[in-house]
Structure 1
């Protein structure tokens, strides 16, 4: 069977064998399918996965503690006034000891009903109003003297102090950098005997979280006759997992 194509302008008659046309189309289709399969099936990448760790040693540079003022009575308005007066005196005392206003927070307060029990019967008697002040201070030497002065100024209770650092976030970020560098060194060391080279980074995974840096100081009862012990260094550790390409 023969296919005739007639072109009017040039008046040329082209004769093409249908068998040859079919053969051409088959070859063209198989060629494109093979090329597509080659593009979708790249050669597997060689990778190496390692873990790294980094530690920053720091010395705590501030104290953190809380002061509670508690008052009990039947008139809530009077209770609030009494507590507020003591809080004002305590804040003034803290300021006089060199503590900046931004390191004194007195936002937390609570008012709870008080009950007494007699032969299994609960009776509401009065209310307990509590105001809590959170304090940060960078002078360790005045701690014991300051605690005693706060009690005299009207503080009902004082929490044990914690030694902390003023910028733990930056310290942790520095430890993260060391962890990544450690992972890279480990990968290079492992590839060296294999005569392979380290390639680009494929993925990085943080395997640790920033932890609070704190030492617990002595309680008020122990401060009556002794001075506070200064803390030593504390490590902030970060860990990462890194996957590299291998060349």
Structure 2
């Protein structure tokens, strides 16, 4: 036990340094808020292949109109239907180990944000009925994310204090005033989020699970 205590003190001392002649102890604190998302963001991809670009444009425009009308019918705000990017590339196939151009491929991406996740499964069903579409890049959204991040930041501060107190106690001292405080994930960027989606098995319900909003800080405390 005595050897273990000596090793523990040596390990803790590795976190301590001197700054301007003052002994400090440095810790990293983290805090999390698990919240239920209230929005969903995803991309709808249209892909058309054929010999004539004009016909591909006509078909893509027709499907785009059907998609937009379907989304609006499901109460999606027109302002949340954006980024209708379009690209046309040659369409090649391989025959007898030879690459041959059959025509062109047109792809179009529509970015969609849904503010109410309760009917997302029904919305997906309606969109897929249009045919030859893909839904990708699905991510969960939290409208009050900044507020949750601030709460996580307070928890991170408490975590840092707890760690510093525990470590200092092993050195027969206690943390004093804060010498340095660094926020490792800035408020100006989206906090780290881990998402999980679960389906209840029915086509009319959608259980989005939880989003974890995380704050991480680095604190230096003065010690005697």
**Shorter chain as normaliser: what TM range?**
0.7 to 0.9
Structure number with bigger Rg: 1
> Is 1:109 the counterpart of 2:86 in the alignment?
yes
Q: Give the unaligned 5+ runs of structure 1.
A: 1-41
What is the CA-CA distance between 1:159 and the residue it aligns to? 3.2
What is the CA-CA distance between 1:192 and the residue it aligns to? 7.0
Q: 1:195 to 1:151 in 2, by over 3 A?
A: closer
Map Cα deviations across residues 170-223 of structure 1 (whole Å, 9 max, x no partner): 433431232123313443565579465612x222234458323432456xxx97
Query: What do you get for the CA RMSD once the two structures are aligned?
Result: 3.1
**Which protein has the bigger helix share?**
1
Distance 1:120 1:43 in 2: 72
Task: Give the number of equivalent residue pairs.
Answer: 201
Distance 1:172 1:195 in 2: 32
Distance 2:222 2:73 in 1: 60
Distance 1:215 1:95 in 2: 27
Aligned to 1:125: 102
Q: Give the conservation status (yes or no) of the 8 Å contact 2:152–2:213.
A: yes
* 1:3-42 equivalences in 2 (<5 Å): none
Map Cα deviations across residues 13-57 of structure 1 (whole Å, 9 max, x no partner): xxxxxxxxxxxxxxxxxxxxxxxxxxxxx9821322223221112
TM-score scaled by length of structure 1: 0.67
Q: Give the unaligned 5+ runs of structure 2.
A: 1-18
Q: 1:160 to 1:144 in 2, by over 3 A?
A: farther
SS of 1:153 mapped into structure 2: coil
> Is 1:68 the counterpart of 2:49 in the alignment?
no
Q: Which moved more, 1:66-75 or 1:168-177?
A: 168-177
Q: Give the conservation status (yes or no) of the 8 Å contact 1:187–1:198.
A: no
Aligned to 1:187: 164
> Is 1:212 the counterpart of 2:193 in the alignment?
yes
> Is 1:57 the counterpart of 2:34 in the alignment?
yes
1:47 to 24, 27, 36: 24
> Is 1:138 the counterpart of 2:138 in the alignment?
no
Distance 1:246 1:135 in 2: 53
TM-score scaled by length of structure 2: 0.73
